[in-house]
Structure 1
Amino acid sequence: MRGTFDFDPAEREYGAATAAIRQILAEWAAIDWFVPPREPAAEARAARLLREHNARARAHLPEVFPATVETRSSGGGWREFTALRDRVCKQPWNWKFSALKPLSSHHSKARGWTLSDQAKHCVDLQNGGAPRPGDLFVRVGDVVLWNGLDPDLYDEARLPRDGVEPARWYLGYACIDALECIEWQLAEGNDDLEGNPFLPLLRCYAAGFYPFSLDQTTLILFAFDR
């Protein structure tokens, strides 16, 4: 299940970070969601990508990201995927909002980047404007919003009935990762992706593995069975 954009990232300009953002968008749109891994070495690659993510994140926020993380493998179908979702939803630790959001916020502040400054020339919907496909932001008066860069993924016809709701839940969080990945690069103000901690997460999804964080040091890598 692949998503599509209503624009070609290669035709859009995003300032000094243009090349990097085009690559992020291209990799994001190319992910085939909720299918088994295609390569025998995909599990090792996914575990390596999570360690890479953690190391990059720790360089900026060591009080939140530990020196080492444990990755465990899990597999199955939608029943097992949903059980993992239910498990992480019931725990106090929330990976996205206890770790990833603070990481992104810390980095933006350290670089002096703000959403309002970045978007000062974007379209204001309150004045009757309309964003162009591929615009990153829109304004509603003084409020700046991301311009819905989620690929068109929500085709329920391509999912079994028991997969629709957990898929929506997971994609909602994954879409945040993609936006944080872009925001990181805008704050960096260049096209060097080597230090971006969110890109390894997108590549983990692309490898066919879906991380679930049990606590600050333990992540489960879930893959769908063939």
Structure 2
Amino acid sequence: MKKNEILGTTAENLGKSVYLSVTDSVLEEIAKAIPIVSVLKAGCSAYQNIGVKRREAQFFIFVEECERIEEGAILKIYKDKNNIEMGMEILNAIEESYLKLHAKMIAKLAILYDKKRIERIKFLKYIHIIPKLTSYLLEQIKDSYDQYQIVKTEFQGKKSLGAERSKLLSYELVSLGFLEATSVMGGGFHYSGTEDLDFFYENIYKEE
């Protein structure tokens, strides 16, 4: 089954009133609402494709993290027909992700959005960003948060950062919305943390 067929079937099922009876496994419950799970489970042993195995692993990490945060939350999310868009964005982000931390962050983001702790536009922004965060950028986000501590603490100017890669890094984090660059007299920039840096690290990135 092609990805677009799986997603189409998923969207159709998510839009219905799906009755979920009590079963022995939360994954069996989810499989009733999301065909991609049963497809992955049934086909896992037959597939040699690394990409398929990666997507399967990422999805189950996502489910496990949701259950760890709040038991039953993922079932509630996928039973709600109002969450079709979120469900599709989640599946797409998992498709593009490759780090275990990506899947965990997607899970935290889904629950934050479902609990209305973030607005739709913020959810869409973060779900787009998460799969793009390499191990290097994730370490730099953590280092930035640890070094500067609070959202509005002023970062060092790029001249004092020295290395060219630091200048490139600053540009990347600015483009992602985690740093803000302010030009200074004499040339160069000062970098300051944004609300996104603080919120993203504390609520989505940081492991408990």
TM-score w.r.t. the length of structure 2 is 0.28
Which of 1 and 2 has greater Rg? Answer: 2
Give 1 or 2: higher strand fraction.
Answer: 1
Give 1 or 2: higher helix fraction.
Answer: 2
Ranked by relative contact order (alpha carbons within 8 Å, sequence separation 6 or more), the top structure is: 1
